[in-house]
Structure 1
Amino acid sequence: MTDTTAASAPAGSAEGSDRGNDLDELKRFVVAHAVSQDLPADHYAPLLDRITTDQGDAPGSWAYEWVRAGDELDAAGQPLAAAQYYLLGRFPFVDGPGRARALERSVDAFDRWRKAGDTGIEPETVDVGGTPVRIWTAGLSTGTPRPLLVVTGGIVSTKEQWGPLLPQLTSLGLAAAVAELPGVGENPLRYERDSSRLFTAILDALDGRADVSRTYLLALSFSGHLALRAALADPRIRGIVGNGTPVHDFFTDAAWQRHVPRITRDTLAHLAGVPADAVYERIRDWALQDDELRALAVPFATVSARRDEIVPPGDTDRLRRHVADLRLLEHDDVHGAPGHLAETKVWSLLAVQWMRPDADPTTTAGLAAAVEAARAAGAKR
């Protein structure tokens, strides 16, 4: 699994840059999300060529062209494919009527897809400090509560992007939930230092229908940082799988921050509700300290990229030094390792199996073989 973290605040907003979105940067970052959703390049590449502006909702604009492609797929009876295109129409986040329309249609198309098939996916509303937050779930049962896997993306990927994984996760003998980081998609919360409370709220809400005393978190990119913080406080969390996890230096290293893509900086500012030039000061005390990493009592498996342009190499080094139970998969790639999608996706599921005392050995062996096959196929490219 991969989650390339990038987005930009709306032009003229209090949270972001007054220069608006950089269209070339948006196109570059969105390709990784298109790849992660298995969209055909011969379809989305001409679409990107038609986009000449990030603003508005007229032909040639970002939102309009993605929504138009989604409408065509929806009319052809492909609501899940349509939802994927709508998702990219609201990328990086809603900043006006066009992207609002795209988000609304993505949620609606996904909802129609999950109802039409035998997906087992159901909506759930979680109370997080008095604020209702909508998530997708599968495999819940009061009669036979299963161990729980909670999936979260990074600062731009919505629950509808990862929602199609839910049936596969239940086939592993798990109950599962997919949620969004605060400020992403339909999640109305603000992104804050204590946003890890989202995980605890989900566990509380699903207790009795899932065995939340055996919870695992598949938390990509920035949500991995929150997952680590949650595990330090909630003993029901038994393991974490991440990808491109910022830990410490990203939040504190001013020299590194000067070279982080503007699109990432502006997204963090938008989600945190501060001006772009103040965001690094706001998040400085979010860094996990060495003693906190040493105190982590559960296994942590994560993917790192040697050419990561967002998470500094010092964060991976810090994990190596201080996390007692660490499994690390390294790729020669950029943030999220989009060039190694197939291997990373299966390895992430395998890592969850490694952490589970109740995991079926045959299923685990099958995933291990799939990892090797994906690695070999990648080496031939």
Structure 2
Amino acid sequence: MPFTWPLDPQDLFTERHPQMTLGLPADEVDAVRAAITEMWPDRPGGWAYEWSALGARHAAAGRHRQAAQAYGWAKFPSLADEPKRTALARQVEQYVLAAPGFPVDFERRSLTVPYRGGETTLPIHLMSAPGLPADAPVVLASGGVDSWKADLHGMWEQLALALPARLLLFDLAGTGETAHLPMTPDGGAEVIDGLVAFARTIGNGTVGHFGLSMGGYFSARTGLSGSVDAAVVLGGPVERSFAPGRGFAFGMEGIVGNALGFDGMPSRAAREEAFAAFDLRPLLDQDANGPMLVLNGADDVHVPQHDTLVFTGRRATRIELILDTGHCAISKFDEAMAVVVPWLRTALAV
């Protein structure tokens, strides 16, 4: 069962304000910030309550895209209680209502993939520039443990309009609309293997993988193993992030604990045992990777620089540390995309 944990909501505003204002006006974000005094209670001053009130105002005015963004923050950072699960359902509803106005071709569908000897079903989104040929490459793309496929819509639009490829958007196991599965390295990777196999059947057979934050962990896996034709790792943890004794910032210990499937805040020993299985050192020691782009902000408080720089010297691999920005280079995202887009265009053409 999901669990709540002590968390100061103002810490989340401190960290995420640049991300919040990518999809909502700064004055609206600041007004919600001023109204919120507590994280979990579902009442005036509560996180989900105040963000949902903003979402409801946008929905009533027919501004479905902004409503989806507001409800996305209402369910942030984890589906730890009923108000946040309700906010996710409202976000999906508003996002689907907004879809006819997107400047991209968009399709939402359910996909069934192999999972632990059986099958599992998850919602995916397909997005592309209008008129993209059916035989274009496909790029899997996901966010991380707390920012999911609908939350990052502006980013996906930018990528879809810039790339000669169709995006296949999904939530990682343990998160979002795939929260019914725990996030484990093998189970999460098995789901992605199923998505890769599907992606090879709907385009020209060329498949890339773009991962943001924890999504970057899984794109590092597919890139290092050579199971995709090109991999972008933006702010992905790969090795030192999972080492014993690591610390957490901005409530990430509870966010990760929920994604991993714990029913209460895990002890340090339990967390470190779970983390040990994620370490990508066995794949880093091999030489099977396809083309990879690995980048991050130089001042990331969540993922140490080592997990970007450890790729230095690998064949077919480009490394970029973007100065004066943090996790996933969000505050300099245009600069990051100026690297990602041309690299992906070239890699997918090959």
In the other structure, the counterpart of 2:347 is 355
1:33 Cα shift? 2.7
- Following superposition, the deviation at residue 26 of structure 1 comes to 2.5
Structural mapping, 1:97-246, within 5 Å: 97-116=82-101, 119-128=104-113, 129=115, 130-139=119-128, 144-166=134-156, 168-171=158-161, 172-187=163-178, 188-194=180-186, 195-211=188-204, 213-233=205-225, 235=227, 237-246=228-237
Q: What is the deviation of 1:316?
A: 2.4
Q: Pick closer, same or farther for the CA change 1:336–1:164 going to 2, 3 Å.
A: closer
Secondary structure in 1 aligned to 2:71? helix
Q: Secondary structure at the match of 2:233?
A: strand
Structure 2 SS opposite 1:319: coil
Distance 1:337 1:174 in 2: 23
**2:107/2:125 contact within 8 Å kept:** yes
| Amino acid in structure 2 at the alignment position of 1:270 | N
Indicate how the Cα distance of structure 1 residues 205 and 99 shifts in structure 2: closer, same or farther if over 3 A, else same.
same
Three-state SS of the structure 1 residue aligned to 2:7 is coil
CA distance in 1, matches of 2:45, 2:283: 51
* Deviating more after overlay: 219-228 vs 25-34: 25-34
Amino acid of the residue matched to residue 66 of structure 1?
A: W
Which residue does the alignment assign to 2:311?
319
1:50-89 equivalences in 2 (<5 Å): 50-89=35-74
C-alpha displacement of 1:180: 0.9
TM-score normalised by length of structure 2: 0.87
Q: 2:328 aligns to what SS in structure 1?
A: coil
Q: Secondary structure at the match of 1:273?
A: coil
Q: Quick one: which of 256, 268, 272 aligns to 1:268?
A: 256
Q: Deviations over 1:208-241 (max 9, x none)?
A: 3222x31111111111111121234453x11111
Gaps of 5+ in 1: 1-8, 12-16, 359-381
Q: Structure 2, unaligned stretches of length 5 or more?
A: none
> Is the 2:249–2:302 Cα contact (8 Å) retained in structure 1?
yes
Amino acid at match of 2:66: A
The DSSP-based 3-state class of the residue aligned with 2:349 is: coil
> What is the identity, as a one-letter code, of the residue corresponding to 2:248?
V
Higher relative contact order (CA 8 A, sep 6+): 1
Q: Where does 1:302-317 land on structure 2 (aligned, <5 Å)?
A: 302-317=294-309
Q: Given the two structures, how large is their TM-score scaled by the length of structure 1? A: 0.81
Query: How has the CA–CA distance of structure 1 residues 339 and 169 changed in structure 2, closer, same or farther, with 3 Å as cutoff?
Result: closer
Distance in 2 between residues matched to 1:27 and 1:332, nearest whole Å: 19
1:282 is matched with 274
Deviations 1:25-68 (A, max 9, x none): 22223324303x34222211121110011122211110111111
Match of 2:12 in 1: 26
State whether residues 145 and 214 of structure 2, in contact with CA within 8 Å, keep that contact through their aligned partners in structure 1.
Answer: yes
- Does the aligned pair in 2 maintain the 1:139–1:146 contact within 8 Å? no
- Structure 1 residue 170: Cα displacement: 4.5
Query: Could you report, residue by residue, the CA deviation over 1:100-143 in whole angstroms, capped at 9, with x for unpaired residues?
Result: 221111100110111355642111222231110111013599x8
The aligned amino acid for 1:244 is: G
CA contact (8 A) 2:226 2:289 kept: no
Identity in percent: 22
SS at match of 2:151: helix
Taking only aligned residues, the RMSD between alpha carbons, in angstroms, comes to: 2.5
Alpha carbons 1:251, 1:287 under 8 Å: kept = yes
Structure 2 match to 1:378: none
Query: CA contact under 8 A between 2:241 and 2:307: conserved in structure 1?
Result: yes
Query: Counterparts of 2:235 and 2:199 in 1: how far apart (Å)?
Result: 28
Q: Per the alignment, do residues 323 and 252 of structure 1 end up closer, same or farther by CA in structure 2, a change over 3 Å counting? A: farther
| Higher mean C-alpha displacement, 165-174 vs 301-310 | 165-174
Amino acid at match of 2:251: I
Residues 343 and 232 (structure 1), Cα distance of their counterparts in 2 relative to 1, 3 Å cut? closer
After superposition, give the CA deviation of every residue in 1:335-365 in whole Å (9 maximum; x if it has no partner).
122221222234322221131326xxxxxxx
